[in-house]
Amino acid sequence: MIHARRQSTGLSLAADGDFDAAILDVNLGRNMTCEPIAEALRERGVPFLLHTGDLQESGELVERIGAPIAQKPMASDRLIGMVSEILA
């Protein structure tokens, strides 16, 4: 498992990290979102899903990114199941 706490780290990992799939938190704080990371992952063909607790506030962004949504809170077994689905 690889974990990034900052958008810059996420972008670096999205560009050349060694992983099979990603779970992205939509809102990263300080007015930053996961959108540039999602774009970089999409360019590399790495499947990802969005993990968010505020669909009302992030709805337009989530729709624009166009990835499966894991709404917070979510049981870990369900989240693992969703990751398995995007890897299939």
Residues of the domain holding 42: 7-87
Stated pTM of the model: 0.90
In a domain, 18, yes or no: yes
The radius of gyration computed from the CA coordinates of the chain, to the nearest angstrom, equals 12
Per-chain mean pLDDT for the chain: 92
Would you say residue 58 has pLDDT above 80? no
The burial class, CB within 10 Å (0-12 / 13-18 / 19+), for 3 is exposed
In a domain, 34, yes or no: yes
Would you say residue 54 has pLDDT above 80? no
What is the model's pLDDT at position 44?
A: 96
AA identity, residue 79: L
Question: How many percent of the chain have pLDDT more than 90?
Answer: 74
Task: List the CATH number of the domain containing 61.
Answer: 3.40.50.2300
In a domain, 1, yes or no: no
CB atoms within 10 A of CB 56: 5
Q: What tens digit of pLDDT does each residue of 19-37 get? A: 999 999 998 888 899 999 9
* C-alpha span between 42 and 71 (Å, rounded): 21
